[in-house]
Amino acid sequence: MLWYKSWLETRWRFLIGLALLLCSAGAMVLTYPRLQALLSHIPEPQLGGALGERVREAIELSREYRGFVWAQGFSQNLAQLGTLFAVLLGTGGLLSGGAALFTLSLPATRRDLLRVRAAAGLAEWLLLALVPSLLISLMSPVIGESYGVVTALAHGLCLFVAGAVFFSLAMLLSTLFTDVWRPLLTAIAIAAFLALLEQLAPRDGGWGIYRVMSGESYFRSGAMPWAGLAASAAASVALLYAAAVNLERRDF
């Protein structure tokens, strides 16, 4: 029944997230033909420096469908929206629900409560990461393109594992603060700060959580970012463990 409680508490966040991510993925696929037409009329940009290089790269990537889906979807829209909903799914829980004493009066350990909540949230996050990715494969024939299911699943997996770090961070923060807003805003601020750091970092080197999330190495070379995925999974486990320890030592 703790599963049921977790579902009731997070279902709207999950369903809204699923709807938005599906709309985002669907709209992206449907706009590709118009973008293609537009690109044929755009002259080569004359911008110099790193910015110019990025703009040129984005245009080049968009000339090909697979590149467009990666640049627009997995490294932007789905990553950004996904991060937001991973954080949203991780917030809330025992401290902010307003019925903590009733929950704690049940014959379940605090670790059980956290374990079920984490598992339910991660299951929802897995669906948020995979279903919109698969929609891209399903909808691509509509515009006369194709996008492999395996490729979609690979990117969805990267999105899930790296995004789980933000989910776990939000869960940890939710065991530190008694309201919903501070964990939510703090986690989003940390996510934005990491994104900024990656933007400033050299493009051809280093590890970044958003690079893992977008599956950049898989897109460019076909190699899954196993080290990054393992590091993300380890970070998630560590954050969830810290959340469990913190929850156990708390007074209510």
Which residues contact other proteins by CB under 8 A?
Answer: 1, 4-5, 8-9, 97-102, 104-111, 248-249, 251-252
User: With respect to other proteins, which residue has the nearer C-beta, 99 or 192?
Assistant: 99
Residue 123 CB, shortest distance to other proteins, in Å, is 19
> Exposure pattern of 28-53 as b/e (b: 16+ CB <10 Å)?
bbeebeebbeeeeeeeeeeeeeeeee
User: With respect to other proteins, which residue has the nearer C-beta, 3 or 226?
Assistant: 3
How far apart (Å, rounded) are the C-alpha atoms in residues 96 and 92? 6
Residue 124 CB, shortest distance to other proteins, in Å, is 16
Residue 103 CB, shortest distance to other proteins, in Å, is 8
How far apart (Å, rounded) are the C-alpha atoms in residues 250 and 201? 39
Residue 102 CB, shortest distance to other proteins, in Å, is 6
How far apart (Å, rounded) are the C-alpha atoms in residues 28 and 25? 5
User: With respect to other proteins, which residue has the nearer C-beta, 56 or 250?
Assistant: 250
User: With respect to other proteins, which residue has the nearer C-beta, 37 or 101?
Assistant: 101
Query: How many C-beta atoms lie closer than 10 Å to residue 140's C-beta?
Result: 19
* End-to-end C-alpha distance for the chain, whole angstroms: 22
Residue 169 CB, shortest distance to other proteins, in Å, is 25
Amino acid at 162: A
User: With respect to other proteins, which residue has the nearer C-beta, 109 or 199?
Assistant: 109
Torsion sign (Cα): 147, 149, 152, 158: negative
Whether residue 130 contacts residue 114, with contact meaning beta carbons closer than 8 Å, is answered with: no
User: With respect to other proteins, which residue has the nearer C-beta, 5 or 182?
Assistant: 5
Residue 182 CB, shortest distance to other proteins, in Å, is 20
Rounded to the nearest angstrom, the gap between the alpha carbon of residue 47 and the centroid of all alpha carbons in its chain is 31
Torsion sign (Cα): 64, 69, 70, 72: positive
How far apart (Å, rounded) are the C-alpha atoms in residues 86 and 101? 27
User: With respect to other proteins, which residue has the nearer C-beta, 102 or 150?
Assistant: 102
- The residues, ordered by sequence, that sit 6+ positions from 16 with a Cβ below 8 Å of its Cβ are none
Residue 237 CB, shortest distance to other proteins, in Å, is 21
Structure tokens at 14: 């999950």
